[in-house]
Amino acid sequence: MALVEVIDGVFAYNKNRIFTNINLSVEKGEILCLLGPNGCGKTTLIDCILGMHMLNDGKILINGLDAKKFHPGELAKYVAYVPQNHERTFPYKVLDIVQMGRAAYTGRFSSPSQQDQDIAAEALAMVGLIKLKDRPYTQLSGGEGQLVMLARALAQQTPVIIMDEPTAHLDFKHEMLVLEMILDLVRNRELTVIMATHFPNHAFWFENNALKTRVALMHEEHFVEVGPPMDVICEKNMRLLYNIDTRLLSFRVNELGEMHQIVPVKTL
Amino acid sequence: MNKKIIILIVFAAPLLVIFLSLFIGRYPVSIARVLQVLWSGITASTWGQPDVYNTLIWQIRMPRAILGAMVGGCLAISGAAFQGLFRNPLVSSGILGVSAGAGFGAALSILIFHSVTGATYVFAFAFGLLAVFLSYLISKIYNSSPTIMLVLGGVIVGSIFSALISFAKYAADPYEELPAIVFWLMGSLASSSYKDILVAGIPMFIGISGLVLIRWRINVLSMGDREAHALGINLVVDKGLVIVCSTLAAAGAVCVSGVIGWVGLVIPHIARMIVGNDNRVLIPASLSLGACFLVLVDDVGRIITGAEMPLGILTSLVGAPFFIWLLKKTKAGGW
C-alpha cells in the first residue's frame, strides 16, 4: 500500500490555479524527487500533503486514510517536514530544537518527558551532531542547521519525511553530507522520503547508489512525467521544463559501477 | 545550575521583594515596628499596635506591593509570550493594542464620571479586550499571512485608540479630568487595595496560569506557522490560547495600574540573558523578574520624591541603565 497518495489533486490560491490533475503515490522505502522550475508549485504541493492547505478537488491519502480526517497531531506522527529556509529567530539550544520534534507526542500543557528527550538526543546523534547539543543553534553553519532540522524530523519518528530543497544554500561538502544522510535513512531505516529539489543530479545520485528512486517532473500546473531518473530526466524533458540544452553523461566509478549525471550546456 | 534552586529562586524572589518593600516608604516606621505589626496581624492578636501602623503596613504597603508584583509579572509574562508567538523580540504586551485600548477606556470613564472611579477599571479592562478583539477581526480580512496581519491589526487599532485618547484629553475639563487622565496613563500603584487585587487578580491569575502551562508550546509556535503545524500543533487552538491568556494578563494588569511601559518589552530580554531562550524556563523567569522589578521600582518611586512619581516614568529611568549594565555584564549572552 502506498504511504502517501495524491489522487487528482487540484489547488488554487483564490482564483490563481497552482496545479491540477496531480496523481502521486509513494511506496515504503522509496525516494520521490519533485523536480520543476521555480514557482511550478512544488512547495504548494508539499503544503497540501502536510495539511497546511486543503486541496480544492481530489484527495490525499496518508497510509490509505483520507488526510482530511487527520488532526495536525496525528498527521505529524506519519509525516515529518524539513523546511527549505528555516528562519532562526531565538537562539534556542540545538537539543531544544530537536525536542520540538516530540510535540505531537507531548500534551498541550506539558513538556517533553525524559523518554522524549532521550529520543531527541538519539535523533541528534543519528545526524552526528550530538556534540553540539548545548550550542545556540543560531551559531551553527547552514549545513549543520539543516542537519538539525533533519534530526528534528527524525525525532518525530514518522515513516515519511518530506523535504523542501534540503540542500539549498549548502556548500559542496554539506550538500553531499545531507544526501548521504538521506541515503542512509531510506536504505537502512526504511524511511520514505519525498523531496523537492532543483538538482536533477540528486535523483541520479540516489539511483546511482541503488536506491529505489522516482522523479516527478512538475511543469505548468501538472506532472509531465513520473518515473525512474534514467527514464524521465532526459535532454528532451530538461528542454521542456527549463528551456535549456543539456547532455546526459555516463561514467564508471569502481565501487559503484555505472553512474549518470546530466549537465547543462546553455539556455535556449 | 541546579533545577530545584532555579525554581526556588523564581518562587522566592518576588515574595522576598514584597516583604522587603513593607519596610520602605515616606512615613518613618522602624524595622522592629514593622515586624511587630506583621506578627500581630498574622496572629490576629489585638496586642496594642497603634492603628496608624496597622493601616500603613496592612492596608497600604502590603496591597501595593502585592499588586505591584502581580502587575509586573503579568506585563512581563505576556510580553515574553507575545515575543515567542510572533517570533519578534521587539513586541511587548501592548502589541495587540491592549494598552491603548485600556487607556482610552480609562479616559472615557473619567470623562463620563469626572474622576477615577471603580468604573475606570471596568472600562479599561473592557476596552483593552475590545482592542485585541478588533485586531483579531482586522487580521481576518486578509487570510494569507495571519500572524503578520494580526500584528498589523494591533498597530492599526493601537493608533486609533491613541488618537481617541488624545481626543479624550482635548475634550476633557482641564482642571479635573485632564490631570486624572494624564496621571492614569502614566501608571501608578498608589491607590492599591485588596479589592483591586481580588477583582483584577482573576483575569491575571487565569492568564498567568494558562501561559505557564502552555509554555513549552510557545517554543514550538516560535518556529513559524508551517513548521509548528508540521510538528503537530493545532495552530488555531494553541495560538488562540496564548493570545487570550496574554491578553487577560495584560488587560488585568493595565486596568489597575495604568499604562506602564518597558516592563513587557525588556524584562523578557533581561530574563533571556539570565536563563536563556527556552520558554520552559523563560516564562516563569519573566514572571518572577517582572514582579520583582515593578515592586522595586515602585519602592524607589516612594522614596525619592515627596509626591508620588508615576511608575511609567520610573520603569524606563530605572530600567534602562540596568538593562545597559546587564548587556555589558553578559555580553548579550542570550543573543
pLDDT tens, residue by residue, B56-93 = 888 889 999 999 999 999 999 999 999 999 888 888 88
Give the C-alpha separation, A181 to A31, whole Å. Answer: 13
* DSSP letters for A104-141: GGS-TT----HHHHHHHHHHHHHTT-GGGTTSBGGGS-
Whether the per-residue pLDDT at B15 is higher than 80: the answer is: yes
Q: How confident is the model at residue A121 (pLDDT cuts 50, 70, 90)?
A: very high
- Which residue in the set B144, B214, B232 is minimally distant from A76, CB to CB? B232
Whether the per-residue pLDDT at B308 is higher than 90: the answer is: no
Burial class of residue A109 in the structure, from the number of CB atoms within 10 Å of its CB (0-12 exposed, 13-18 middle, 19+ buried): middle
Q: Which chain A residues are closer than 8 Å to B220 by Cβ?
A: 100, 103
The C-alpha of A156 sits at a distance from chain B's nearest C-alpha, in angstroms, of 8
- C-alpha closest to that of A23 among A53, A54, A61: A61
Burial class of residue A235 in the structure, from the number of CB atoms within 10 Å of its CB (0-12 exposed, 13-18 middle, 19+ buried): middle
Q: How confident is the model at residue B234 (pLDDT cuts 50, 70, 90)?
A: very high
Q: Does a structural domain hold residue B4? A: no
Give the C-alpha separation, A10 to A96, whole Å. Answer: 37
Closest residue of chain B to A111, computed from CA coordinates: B216
Give the C-alpha separation, B278 to B288, whole Å. Answer: 16
Burial class of residue B321 in the structure, from the number of CB atoms within 10 Å of its CB (0-12 exposed, 13-18 middle, 19+ buried): exposed
Q: How confident is the model at residue A113 (pLDDT cuts 50, 70, 90)?
A: very high
Instruction: For an interface test with A, give the residue of B231, B235, B241, B331 to mutate (most A CBs within 10 A).
Output: B231
| Span A73-85, pLDDT tens digits | 999 999 999 998 8
Average pLDDT, chain B: 88
State the residue for C-alpha cell 506519519: A78
pLDDT of residue B140: 82
Closest residue of chain A to B213, computed from CA coordinates: A109
Q: What is the CATH number of the domain that holds B134?
A: 1.10.3470.10
pLDDT of residue B144: 66
Q: Is B213 on the interface with A (CB under 8 A)?
A: yes
Give the C-alpha separation, B127 to B108, whole Å. Answer: 10
Query: Cβ(A162)–Cβ(A32) under 8 Å?
Result: no
Within 10 angstroms of residue B32's Cβ, the number of other Cβ atoms is 8
pLDDT of residue B147: 77
- Ranges for all domains in chain A classified under CATH 3.40.50.300: 1-78+158-237
The C-alpha of B293 sits at a distance from chain A's nearest C-alpha, in angstroms, of 24
> CA B155 from chain center: how many Å?
19
> E strands of B127-249, at which residues?
none
Residues of chain B above pLDDT 90, percent = 48
B233 with A103: Cβ contact below 8 A = yes
The CB-side HSE value for A120 (13 A sphere, CA atoms) comes to: 26
Cell of B173: 475639563
Fold of A1-78+158-237: Rossmann fold (3.40.50)
Query: Cβ(A59)–Cβ(A10) under 8 Å?
Result: no
| Span B245-280, pLDDT tens digits | 999 999 999 988 888 888 998 899 889 888 889 999
pLDDT of residue B45: 66
Query: Cβ(B194)–Cβ(B70) under 8 Å?
Result: no
- Which residue in the set B84, B224, B231 is minimally distant from A103, CB to CB? B231
| Span A51-108, pLDDT tens digits | 988 999 999 999 989 998 899 899 999 999 999 888 888 999 999 999 999 999 999 9
State how many domains chain B has.
Answer: 1
Q: Is B28 on the interface with A (CB under 8 A)?
A: no
Residues of chain A above pLDDT 70, percent = 100
pLDDT of residue B332: 56
**Mean pLDDT across A7-35:** 91
B217 with A103: Cβ contact below 8 A = yes
**Highest mean pLDDT pick, A34-38, B274-278, B287-291, B327-331:** B287-291
Give the C-alpha separation, B143 to B335, whole Å. Answer: 32
* DSSP letters for chain A: --SEEEEEEEEEETTEEEEEEEEEEE-TT-EEEEE--TTSSHHHHHHHHTTSS--SEEEEEETTEEGGG--HHHHTTTEEEE-SS----S--BHHHHHHGGGGGGS-TT----HHHHHHHHHHHHHTT-GGGTTSBGGGS-HHHHHHHHHHHHHHTT-SEEEEESTTTT--HHHHHHHHHHHHHHHHHS--EEEEEES-HHHHHHHHHTT--EEEEEEETTEEEEEE-HHHHSSHHHHHHHH-EEEEEEEEEETTTEEEEEEEEEEE-
Helix (H) or strand (E) holding B83: helix B62-85
pLDDT of residue B311: 86
Query: Cβ(A260)–Cβ(A210) under 8 Å?
Result: no
B213: containing domain: 10-330
Q: Does a structural domain hold residue B335? A: no
- C-alpha closest to that of B223 among A130, A99, A254, A160: A99
Q: How confident is the model at residue B333 (pLDDT cuts 50, 70, 90)?
A: low
A80 with B230: Cβ contact below 8 A = yes
Number of Cβ pairs closer than 8 Å across A and B? Answer: 88
Closest residue of chain B to A13, computed from CA coordinates: B144
Supply the angle between the helices B3-21 and B279-304 in degrees, to the nearest 10.
Answer: 20
Give the C-alpha separation, B233 to A74, whole Å. Answer: 10
Give the C-alpha separation, A42 to B208, whole Å. Answer: 42
The C-alpha of A54 sits at a distance from chain B's nearest C-alpha, in angstroms, of 13
B230 with A81: Cβ contact below 8 A = yes
